[in-house]
Structure 1
């Protein structure tokens, strides 16, 4: 492998490791073992866990913003922004990584990235759709709700609470049954998220 290929291999392993364990619980040793390299090599390349997470998280945030920014302005922008966000949710590692980043927002750099991503989603929705701040807030808020429900496999645990079942039903609509079948998989998450399209774009 070239040095660039090795670096990309480590970043790919780190993405999955941080998505599974979060920022606080994941170690550079776990990342190194997943990438098939030594822990000192990871530290030598990235400087430590915080710098490694920031690089992985920056890529995730950039992916989200670039996807939303690719939607052209116009009368179809509202539906297309919803489609763009739903498309992102099919990547379960991305979904969990972004949520872990919000949880680690007390770190100054991670917090800055999280705030910028939320701000950019809000701004882009307004710019592309021409709608006001309240509509943009609803878009961001519903997107976050869908992300959280998918991340915690809410559709698989409806029996825990009548309120949870009601929340999932009004969020996922007709796709609730599909979302509850193996919801931890990328495919099922995609089905559930697609059914929630109306919640994101309305």
Structure 2
């Protein structure tokens, strides 16, 4: 995905001229939806926006997902599934002596490589009053809490701190604060405090203000 172009296609390479299956095309559309919903929010996104980004027709998106609401729910579910997958991989990785919290935190930051994932979830958290999306968002949030408490073994205060720091990172990424790194001393200090070891990588992959998503 070339994020510096206003109309961007999220696609996977086709091999030997093979046409993509419907499942592969569905995954491609969901990846595009996560990118666009993440940048523009639920209300600011149309199925046509997602179709153009995925490189398919808008009627095809509607045929697969029906409504924008259903497409957003699919984007939330895919984002949640990927979030929980990398958390569990990090939890089970005992190949180093790094603490569990450190491994999970690094996995969360590395998910910035999935453009829009953090922000799609953030937009879902803000739609608690929506009769359908709100319920899905609450279920997702509760699942993350249960992971920290039941699987990772965090106590309630440690889980709270982890979630709070994750929300701070989401806000920083959503505001494209990386644009002010190096020019605003407060923002520079904030980035260095949040990413003491991963800062060069974060500065490289964080979305910029002039990128569509």
* TM-score range normalised by the length of the shorter chain: 0.7 to 0.9
- 1:180: Cα distance to partner? 5.2
Distance (whole Å) between structure 1 residues aligned to residue 201 and residue 108 of structure 2: 19
TM-score (norm 1): 0.73
Query: Would the aligned equivalents of 1:155 and 1:176 in 2 still touch at CA under 8 Å?
Result: no
User: For residues 37-116 of structure 1, what are the structure 2 equivalents within 5 Å?
Assistant: 37-70=56-89, 71-72=91-92, 76-116=99-139
- 1:29: Cα distance to partner? 1.6
Residues 121 and 161 from structure 1, CA distance in 2 versus in 1: closer, same or farther, beyond 3 angstroms? same
- 1:101: Cα distance to partner? 2.1
- 1:160: Cα distance to partner? 8.6
In terms of fraction of residues, the more helix-rich structure is: 1
Unaligned stretches of 5+ in structure 1?
Answer: 186-202
User: For residues 1-202 of structure 1, what are the structure 2 equivalents within 5 Å?
Assistant: 1=19, 2-70=21-89, 71-72=91-92, 76-157=99-180, 164=187, 166-173=189-196, 179=202, 183-184=206-207
Distance (whole Å) between structure 2 residues aligned to residue 33 and residue 155 of structure 1: 27
Query: Would the aligned equivalents of 1:156 and 1:180 in 2 still touch at CA under 8 Å?
Result: no
Deviations 1:8-39 (A, max 9, x none): 33323323222232211111122223334332
Residues 39 and 123 from structure 1, CA distance in 2 versus in 1: closer, same or farther, beyond 3 angstroms? same
SS at match of 1:108: coil
SS at match of 1:60: helix
Query: Would the aligned equivalents of 2:112 and 2:205 in 1 still touch at CA under 8 Å?
Result: no
Distance (whole Å) between structure 2 residues aligned to residue 58 and residue 182 of structure 1: 23
Larger RCO: 1 or 2 (CA < 8 Å, sep 6+): 2
Alignment root-mean-square deviation, CA: 3.1
